[in-house]
Amino acid sequence: MPVLVAPELPAGRLARLAQPTLAAASPAGPVTVRPWAAADARAVLDAYADPAIQQWHVRSMTPDEADAWVAHWPGRWADETGAGWAVEVDGAVAGQVSLRRLRLAEAWAEISYWVLPHARGRGIAPAALDAVTGWLMAEVGVLRASLAHSTRNPASCRVATKAGYLPEGTLRRQARHADGWHDMHVHARLAEPEPEPGPGPGPEADGA
Ligand SMILES: CC(C)(COP(=O)(O)OP(=O)(O)OC[C@H]1O[C@@H](n2cnc3c(N)ncnc32)[C@H](O)[C@@H]1OP(=O)(O)O)[C@@H](O)C(=O)NCCC(=O)NCCS
């Protein structure tokens, strides 16, 4: 049945664009955020052998599955349901950022990221997240980008905060991981500037 609200962004807004390569600066030096290539499957396999990535991304990753995972992103771009980028530092894959969900009609996206163990603690995830978010808002017109991390994953909370994703609240018992249910902390960044915290209404503002 037809919806009664016009789409905020038309179908085709993403698919008509070529997936970009983005440059970012991190404390680790330059970061390149680029589309996946078939040769990256090995790095994806290595990533999912890490217990922390397994814990938070809850996905099996055999060699065949890594090939398929890398190969599936162009289809997600073409049907405008998501997008994935490799994050490269010093000429090697150090992590990933992806749009795990995208809804053009409502101009929102949900973002996910991981960084390989050897590259952590150098500000790579916040730099890559900021670059993808900035592009998404400036070039695609997305108005709201959000992410959710387990309340037991403080490192991810820091990434979100450093990339300008403000905390919004906690969804209780929302995600099921291998060790059971987790409460998820939601953060979001809006395209328009966030309002400055004001002094609050004074006597004139409320008409007194
Ligand atoms: C969360 C994650 C993406 C952070 O990426 P990163 O590039 O290391 O991000 P940062 O360098 O900004 O570090 C973020 C926080 O990680 C912690 N950290 C610092 N050094 C670290 C290290 N060597 N190893 C692990 N965590 C470290 C710190 O709390 C840091 O916050 P701080 O800068 O305020 O001290 C990465 O740790 C990761 O991939 N973890 C496993 C998967 C995961 O959690 N994905 C997100 C699911 S929502």
What is the tens place of the pLDDT at every residue in 123-178? Answer: 999 999 999 999 999 999 999 999 999 999 999 999 999 999 999 999 999 999 99
| Cβ–ligand 1 contact at 163 (below 6 Å) | no
Enter the tokens of residue 52: 């922390």
Give the amino acid at 86. Answer: A
| Cβ–ligand 1 contact at 122 (below 6 Å) | yes
Residue bearing tokens 């599936």:
72
Angle, in degrees to the nearest 10, between helices 41-48 and 63-78 = 110
Residue 165 alpha carbon to ligand 1 centre in Å: 15
- The C-alpha atoms of residue 108 and residue 12 are separated, in whole angstroms, by 15
- 3-state secondary structure (DSSP) of residue 9: coil
Strand partners, 87: 33, 95
79-100 average pLDDT score:
98
pLDDT in the model for residue 159 = 98
Cβ atoms of 9 and 140 within 8 Å: the answer is yes
Q: 87 in the Ramachandran plot: left (φ > 0), alpha (ψ -120 to 50) or beta?
A: beta
- The C-alpha atoms of residue 61 and residue 50 are separated, in whole angstroms, by 11
Q: Which residue has the least CA distance to atom 15 on ligand 1?
A: 155
| Cβ–ligand 1 contact at 115 (below 6 Å) | yes
pLDDT in the model for residue 197 = 62
Enter the tokens of residue 85: 């980028």
pLDDT band at 2 (very low <50, low <70, confident <90, very high): confident
- 3-state secondary structure (DSSP) of residue 179: coil
Pocket test of ligand 1: the residue of 48, 115, 165, 187 to mutate, having most ligand atoms within 8 Å of its CB, is 115
What is the tens place of the pLDDT at every residue in 68-80? Answer: 999 999 999 999 9
Pocket test of ligand 1: the residue of 98, 120, 124, 147 to mutate, having most ligand atoms within 8 Å of its CB, is 120
Angle at 24 (CA atoms; ends 118, 101), nearest 5 degrees = 80
| Cβ–ligand 1 contact at 177 (below 6 Å) | no
- 3-state secondary structure (DSSP) of residue 141: coil
Q: Which ranges in 124-166 belong to alpha helices (H)?
A: 124-135, 154-162
Q: Which residue has the least CA distance to atom 1 on ligand 1?
A: 156
Enter the tokens of residue 51: 């217990």
What is the tens place of the pLDDT at every residue in 14-66? Answer: 999 999 999 999 998 999 999 999 999 999 999 999 999 999 999 999 999 99
- The C-alpha atoms of residue 79 and residue 129 are separated, in whole angstroms, by 22
- The C-alpha atoms of residue 26 and residue 181 are separated, in whole angstroms, by 33
| Cβ–ligand 1 contact at 13 (below 6 Å) | no
- 3-state secondary structure (DSSP) of residue 135: helix
Neighbours of 152 (CB within 10 A): 13
| Cβ–ligand 1 contact at 162 (below 6 Å) | yes
> What is the CATH architecture of 22-190?
3-Layer(aba) Sandwich (3.40)
